[in-house]
Amino acid sequence: MPTKKIKEIVKEYKDATAFEIFEGVRDNFLFGFIGATLVVFISTRLDIGVLLGYITYYYFMGRIVNRPKYVTSLGKLIVFPIPSALGAFAGYKLAYYLHLIIQ
């Protein structure tokens, strides 16, 4: 069973263009990153960080909500969750340094 799913994902990867994959990874990473930095900025009461974070977060929310839904296993299992989680972790780790710079 797992090998069938892996073969399906590999086929979908080969069928997709490099730009489609890049765009999905980029948008999902940034969405996760911005969401995680917002939590830190809110908890540290850094108002300018919260304001800028919400502006960019909702800009990307519009991109995420208004794009076509992922219908492939590649999109559902790789392109969406992995870059989003990596972006959220990077945002969580880097928000402290952004806080020091902005403060």
Count of the separate structural domains present in the chain? 1
* Per-residue confidence (pLDDT) for residue 1, from 0 to 100: 54
Tokens (6 digits) for 34:
């911005």
* Per-residue confidence (pLDDT) for residue 98, from 0 to 100: 85
Tell me the C-alpha distance between 79 and 52, whole Å.
26
Domain region containing 97: 2-102
Phi, psi of 3 (to 5 degrees): -65, -30
Tokens (6 digits) for 24:
């999905």
* Per-residue confidence (pLDDT) for residue 102, from 0 to 100: 80
Amino acid in position 46: L
State pLDDT tens for residues 57-94.
Answer: 998 888 888 888 788 888 888 888 899 999 999 999 99
The closest alpha carbon to 102, from 37, 29, 58, 55, belongs to 37
Tokens (6 digits) for 69:
């839904």
Burial zone of 77 (CB within 10 Å; 0-12 exposed, 13-18 middle, 19+ buried) = middle
Asked whether the whole model's pTM tops 0.85, one would answer no
In total, the chain counts a number of residues equal to 103
State pLDDT tens for residues 20-69.
Answer: 999 999 999 999 999 999 999 999 998 998 999 999 999 888 888 888 87
